[in-house]
A and B are shown apart, each in its own frame.
Chain A
Amino acid sequence: MPTTVELAASLEVRGVELAFGTNKVLRGVDLDVPAGRTACVIGPSGSGKSTLLRTINRLIEPDAGDVRLGGESVLAGSPDVLRRRIGMVFQHFNLFPHKSVIDNITLPLRKLQKLSVEEARAAALEQLELVGLSEKAESRPGNLSGGQQQRVAIARALAMKPEVMLFDEATSALDPELVKGVLGLMADLAQSGMTMVVVTHEMGFAREVADQVAFMDQGVVVESGVPDQIFTAAESPRLQQFLSQVL
């Protein structure tokens, strides 16, 4: 593959806190992802991983702390403009079912980046080519397999030329035989120099692809480091216990 990553930016999460009512979901999260690197976030359900991703692109506004994209705080400007610089891929794909595959990709290009119909189409076809689904351009998402849908969702995000990509359990809703194709695409994207934050339960992927793994539990990063250290020399008892359950 794949794509040419033009403008991967660094990402710094500093002391991010968030509470839903009295329920403290994030309690001072720190995460550093240098430009072009991949960080995997692992941890038990309810540890705040997905919420953390959503505070990075301000789908949820953090109560305290800061997120810096390319050294600048994301909290300063308009969230709508910020989100055009950050691609996000969801567990349930969230393609727009009333639009064809190609229109899913061209819609934001035309409406947000103001490309002409032809320019948008060309850019979309280029991305579809990269994820190996050019021949599905005119299909409806509902007629694609889960793996194909997720690759379209990745193409849709990449077409916006993001500086960072966020993956929220991108393979959790897939049938086992479809997981590999999507993980392979994500690995290639990491290889090509995209800055990525990947929330995942795929420990194999975290181990092989991540430059850095962060283990979250109860709203904080309990331990982080290179994959080898996390998976073979875990220090904290909570991480050791978690790994004993999932590996």
Chain B
Amino acid sequence: MDIWSTLNETFLDWGSMKAVLPEMLKVGLVNTLILAAASVVLGTVLGMIVAVFALSRKRWLRWPAKIYTDIFRGLPAILTILLIGQGLSPITRHWWGPNPYPLGILALSLIASAYIGEIFRSGIQSVEKGQLEAARALGFSYTSGMRLVVIPQGVRRVLPALVNQFIALIKESSLVYFLGLLASQRELFRIGQDSAATDGNLSPLLLAGIFYLVITVPLTHLVNYIDKRLREGRPTDTVDLKEPAYADNR
């Protein structure tokens, strides 16, 4: 069959995959994980700040948060990455040279923080008003009540959505290749693409795809697990609805 052999040559060239495998493991995977992890951390921190601002009672905090969210959620990721990665490099060049890596992380984090901020905001807003009221009635300030009682509950409720956002971020990290990376900075996609161009077949890209799936698929299952546990509670905590008699000895 002609079609099968063509497909086979294009996607399943084992020699080509084998040749690129060490570089993909040592360089590509490491860089993808660094880019993703750094922007997950920075994006989550920024996202929490955006959410707290968006929920503030002060208009001058609320409005900037809304505009920020609209901009970074509304622009195509690739456009934001190019604008920040190339646009800011003349400024940041003084600090770390023409290295596009930090600006790539910054751009990914800004995009992620807009989505993560909205996720946190919806979670925090879903917490019943009585929770803050009870905390305040005990003597907690508004800030302490939010920090100790409301926000932890809100975050817990949106963990599945948050992990989904992390998955999106791992995939989007491939877009930093547009900024022009040094050989040692290339992530999975770029290595796959370079190798595919050299070898004249797509097998290295297929291998890169497998690497992405190895990272993201376990995460999607983690989402399902968290979701299930949030709905059903911890398996060890048994429900006991018996009312032990309170000694009514007045």
Residues of A whose CB lies within 8 Å of any CB of B are 1, 57, 59, 80-81, 83-84, 86-88, 90, 92, 94-98, 107-108, 111-112, 131-133, 135, 139-140, 142-145, 147-148, 151, 153, 156-157, 160, 177-178, 180-181, 184-185, 187-188, 191
* Interface secondary structure of B, over-half rule: loop
Bound Cα distance from A132 to B244, whole angstroms: 8
Contacts of B182 in A (CB 8 A): none
Are A59 and B134 in contact, with the CB atoms below 8 A?
no
Are A177 and B243 in contact, with the CB atoms below 8 A?
yes
Max count, chain A CB within 10 A of own CB: residue among B156, B238, B247: B247
Known contacts A108-B140, A177-B243; A184 and B130 CB within 8 A of each other: no
Bound Cα distance from A18 to B133, whole angstroms: 19
Contacts of A145 in B (CB 8 A): 241-243
Are B134 and A94 in contact, with the CB atoms below 8 A?
yes
Judge if B144 is at the interface, Cβ distance under 8 Å.
yes
Are B138 and A112 in contact, with the CB atoms below 8 A?
yes
- A-binding segment of B53-61, B83-91, B101-109, B147-155: B147-155
Contacts of B137 in A (CB 8 A): 57, 59, 83, 86-88, 90
Judge if B240 is at the interface, Cβ distance under 8 Å.
yes
Chain B contact residue count (CB 8 A cutoff): 34
- Chain A nearest CB from B60 CB (Å) reads 23
Max count, chain A CB within 10 A of own CB: residue among B138, B149, B250: B138
Residue of B nearest to A182 (CB): B246
Judge if B233 is at the interface, Cβ distance under 8 Å.
yes
Contacts of A135 in B (CB 8 A): 244
Are B246 and A140 in contact, with the CB atoms below 8 A?
no
Known contacts A59-B136, A83-B139, A143-B238; A94 and B246 CB within 8 A of each other: no
Contacts of B141 in A (CB 8 A): 80
Bound Cα distance from A144 to B238, whole angstroms: 10
Known contacts A94-B134, A98-B156; A187 and B250 CB within 8 A of each other: yes
